[in-house]
Structure 1
Amino acid sequence: STTTTSIALTTTSTTTTTAPPTKPKGLCVGGLGSPALLQTFGSGNAQFNTATPASFNFTTTYNQSNSAPTSDGHFSFINNLTGEYGTWHQAVDHTPDVTNGYMFLVNADQNPDEIYRSSINSLSIGTVYQFSAYAMNLLASPNEGVLPNITFEIRSPTNDLLASVSTGGIPETINSTWNQYGTSFIASTTSVILLMISNALGGNGNDFAVDDISLVPCIVQTCGF
């Protein structure tokens, strides 16, 4: 069953605000408004999208690869996986109702690195937002590789930490499986920095795909402000 909780968060003012009920890992239970950000990485017939992260308004510390298989320390925008290395899933992206949609594939290496960094403006102060993405462990079970572990952070323009959550080890699965991860926060500034950071150590495994990164206002239903 789903546990519903009410989280008290404090803004930069002296007022304590109660957030909407949340799912485990901080995802909002109630409805969602119009996205302030929705990153699907586009679609196309070619297996690899050669567009750069700058085209999608983010940076990463990984190096881009436009050929299979994507090696350690590299990422790709790819629209289908064909069982690379003999251990990865055969899989397509997560975005619904899109043909040949691209996903953001990361073959993480030995060190924790920034997967994703993006600045977002024009937020409404006092509004609760959900920062989330869908992620998948690329290794098919049972390979017993290093499990990906991603930290989601929201920071102010002055680098103050506003909210953070980690996925824990993203499990290997028999079939390709997308799961949503993320957290919610109350906007205390009109601009924020969104971060996704790889926490897992090691390159034997630690391979994952990310798709449909979003920042969306939560609609309060069962508790008010």
Structure 2
Amino acid sequence: MLELLVVLLTMTGIVEPVDICVDNATHKLGRIFLITFGNGSSLYSNKTPSDFNFTTAHTQNQQTSILFSHFGFGNKVPEHSEWHNGSLDHTKDDDGGYMFLADVGNESHQPLFNYKVNNLSSGVCYEFSAHITNVVKSGTKQVKPNVRLEVWEKDKNNTLIAQASTGDLPECDTMSWSKYGVSFVPTSTSVALFMVSNIYATRGNDIAIDDIELSVCS
């Protein structure tokens, strides 16, 4: 079973574990959105974050290598002496599928992903999740990425209602995807979903993100 790490930040500031959806039809009642980043034959997609209805504080590039503090939508990990060169995205049955590749660098606490959602149902349980991996090969001893997923209510003075961190994403012999998510029960109809880096680094902190999803839980 894919690893799922979830915590809830309560109004008292106490972090407590919460139940989340699992990959089971009896627990997932519907999908609000799924971002797979599409597919294509070119190394980098020419689409931008706005094509997927999100924003990011990082700068997009379409060069052969991902530049420091930049990102690209690539269909394989680009050439780099310490990366899993040629490794593919997470989406199943998606030939040439793109993923969100980022050299996060020292952009600590700056949004990798910011997606605003409206028309949610108050009191219903939702799960915000993504598949994330460290693109750095094992043995390089670089700084490991650590990503935080956050949910903010937009109708209640920007209140943080839920958050979860991946912990340090390990270096592996082959690139290995894991799913991370957080569940939440909004009291208003509008939220903002964030992914931010917990890490400040000038070497390492290189990640891939794919299959970003918001689902309704039972």
Q: Give your verdict on TM over 0.5.
A: yes
Determine the structure 2 residue equivalent to 1:160. Answer: 159
Q: Does 1:119 align with 2:116?
A: yes
Equivalents in 1 of 2:204, 2:89: separation in Å? 20
Equivalents in 1 of 2:70, 2:9: separation in Å? 37
Counterparts of 1:19-58 in structure 2, within 5 Å, are: 22=19, 27-29=20-22, 31-58=27-54
Determine the structure 2 residue equivalent to 1:141. Answer: 138
Q: What are structure 1's unaligned runs of at least 5 residues? A: 12-18, 220-225
Question: Deviation at 1:191?
Answer: 1.1
Determine the structure 1 residue equivalent to 2:71. Answer: 75
Equivalents in 1 of 2:30, 2:150: separation in Å? 21
Determine the structure 2 residue equivalent to 1:222. Answer: none
Equivalents in 2 of 1:165, 1:120: separation in Å? 19
Output the TM-score relative to the length of structure 2: 0.87
Alignment RMSD (CA, Å) = 2.2
Question: Deviation at 1:8?
Answer: 9.4
Output the TM-score relative to the length of structure 1: 0.84
Question: Deviation at 1:203?
Answer: 2.3
Aligned length: 202
Counterparts of 1:177-192 in structure 2, within 5 Å, are: 177-192=176-191
Question: Deviation at 1:10?
Answer: 7.7
**Residues 10 and 88 of structure 1: is their aligned pair in 2 closer, same or farther, counting only changes over 3 Å?**
closer
Equivalents in 2 of 1:152, 1:39: separation in Å? 16
The alignment partner of 1:33 has SS state of strand
Letter in 1 for 2:189: T
**Which has more radius of gyration?**
1
Letter in 1 for 2:101: L
Equivalents in 2 of 1:97, 1:182: separation in Å? 23
Structure 1 stretches of 4+ with a deviation exceeding 2 A read 7-11, 27-31
Percent identity between the aligned chains?
Answer: 38
